Structure formats: C-alpha cells, structure tokens
C-alpha cells in the first residue's frame, strides 16, 4: 500500500471563515478550479497557486497538505 497527498483546504477555509468565492478572488483563479482543488479532484497544483492560497489563508503548505495511506 502506498501513500498519497490529500488537500485539506476545506478545513483551513472553515477555520479562516473564508468562502470559496472570496478565496478564488484573492488567489486569482476561477471558482471551478479552486473547487476542484478543495475537493481533491486534481493531480497537481502549481507552486505559485499553492503559495497564493497560503498567503490568502495566512498558513503554510503543511497546514493544507496531508500525507495518508491509499
């Protein structure tokens, strides 16, 4: 059994009380693309996008990325 990286963006958004629309606007990506990231429907995220998300949520990548068993 291997490991996979899971995005916990939804948890951080709740903690920061930030809506999907507000975060998408701050990051500069579409609501659809941010929703895909939030719901783990992507296989890759650009570092620039990850950095913008972390800046908007005042967090680090480790706060929203988690390693778990497949």
The pLDDT tens digits for 12-31 are: 999 999 999 999 999 999 99
pLDDT at 54 over 90: yes
φ/ψ of 2, rounded to 5, equals: -105, -175
Nearest to 10 by CA among 50, 58, 66, 64: 64
Q: What domains sit in the chain, N to C, each tagged with a CATH number?
A: 3-61 (1.10.260.40)
φ/ψ of 67, rounded to 5, equals: -100, 125
Rounded to two decimals, what is the model's pTM? 0.91
Largest CA distance in the chain: 38
């Amino acid at each position: 059994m291997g490991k996979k990286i899971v995005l916990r963006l939804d948890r951080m958004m709740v903690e920061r009380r930030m809506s999907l629309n507000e975060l998408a606007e701050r990051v500069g990506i579409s609501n659809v693309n941010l929703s895909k990231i939030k719901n783990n429907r992507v296989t890759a995220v650009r570092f620039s996008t990850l950095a913008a998300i972390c800046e908007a949520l005042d967090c680090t990548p480790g706060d929203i990325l988690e390693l778990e068993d497949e």
